[in-house]
């Protein structure tokens, strides 16, 4: 059913009635505060609902979303969310989750040969840089496989960026938390697959660094012990 504004409000009333029928104190308890264990950094794509695909409920997951699930060191919005989640809410896990079929990554792939997308082209510059760096790996792939691989490489790059923020570095020094994770969601199957191991140290992040490994991108074997090399 195609929703309208009126139908959204009607669905809200139905939601409230159903929840109160199950638990008359539900909203009173919800209003007391949040204690999430997870921060989700994901894409704004309307098909990727973090709570829906992970089976979590209200209060269990703090969420930040942007086009192509980027962790940009100058993005004050993301950094504010990250700092609040790590230093105030004390989340134990931060998940960067990309998804196959990502429109942002696809737009970045079009490069100079594709249409201009306006401001979003500036936002996607980091994805374009990832594509350029790994072009020798990506070039032999057909278009669909290339998009899937770039989605994965982008996730790993963002996990690296996340681990290098002063917020995460300080938290690791003080309490060895949070663990950070790179995941990819397949819209076509509904499955989430881990792309990185669980990381809680700068040494773990350094293993993802393409410069430290000197890759200028010959073929990479892909998943090794639950990881996708970047």
β pairing state of 38-43 and 61-66: parallel
> Cα–Cα distance between 70 and 127 in angstroms, integer?
9
**102 classed as catalytic:** yes
User: Distance (Å, rounded) from C-alpha 29 to C-alpha 212?
Assistant: 48
- Is 191 labeled as catalytic in the residue annotation? no
Determine whether 99 is an active site residue. yes
35 catalytic, yes or no?
no
Q: Is 203 a catalytic residue?
A: no
SS (H, E, C) the chain: CCCCHHHHHHHHHHHHHHHHHHCCCHHHHHCCCCCCCEEEEEECCCCCCHHHHHCCCCCCEEEEEECCCCCCCCCHHHHHHHHHHHHHCCCCEEEEEEECCCHHHHHHHHHHHCCCCCHHHHHCHHHHHHHHHCHHHHCCCCHHHHHHHHHHHHHHHHHHHHHCCHHHHHHHHHHCCCEEEEEEECCCCCCEEECCCCECCHHHHHCCCHHHHCCCCCCCCCEECCEECC
- From the candidates 35, 47, 136, 170, give the one annotated as an active-site residue: 47
Set 64, 97, 102, 146: catalytic member: 102
Catalytic residue among 64, 93, 97, 99: 99
Catalytic residue among 45, 64, 97, 149: 45
Catalytic residues: 43, 45, 47, 99, 102
């Amino acid at each position: 059913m195609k929703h309208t504004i009126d139908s959204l409000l009607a669905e809200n009333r139905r939601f409230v009635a159903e929840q109160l029928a199950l638990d008359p104190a539900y909203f009173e308890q919800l209003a007391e505060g949040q204690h999430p264990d997870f921060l989700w950094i994901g894409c704004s794509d309307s098909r990727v609902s973090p709570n829906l695909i992970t089976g979590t409920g209200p209060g269990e997951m703090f969420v930040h979303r942007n086009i192509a699930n980027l962790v940009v060191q100058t993005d004050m919005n993301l950094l504010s969310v990250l700092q609040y989640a790590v230093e105030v809410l004390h989340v134990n896990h931060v998940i960067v989750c990309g998804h196959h079929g990502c429109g942002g990554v696809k737009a970045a792939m079009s490069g100079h040969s594709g249409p201009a997308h306006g401001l979003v082209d500036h936002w996607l510059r980091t994805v374009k840089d990832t594509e350029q760096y790994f072009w020798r790996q990506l070039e032999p792939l057909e278009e669909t496989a290339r998009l899937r691989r770039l989605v994965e490489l982008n996730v790993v790059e963002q996990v690296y960026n996340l681990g290098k923020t002063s917020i995460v570095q300080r938290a690791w020094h003080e309490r060895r938390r949070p663990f950070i994770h790179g995941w990819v969601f397949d819209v076509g199957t509904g499955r989430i697959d881990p792309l990185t191991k669980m990381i809680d140290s700068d040494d773990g992040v350094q293993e993802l660094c393409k410069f430290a490994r000197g890759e200028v991108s010959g073929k990479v074997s892909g998943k090794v012990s639950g990881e996708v090399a970047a």
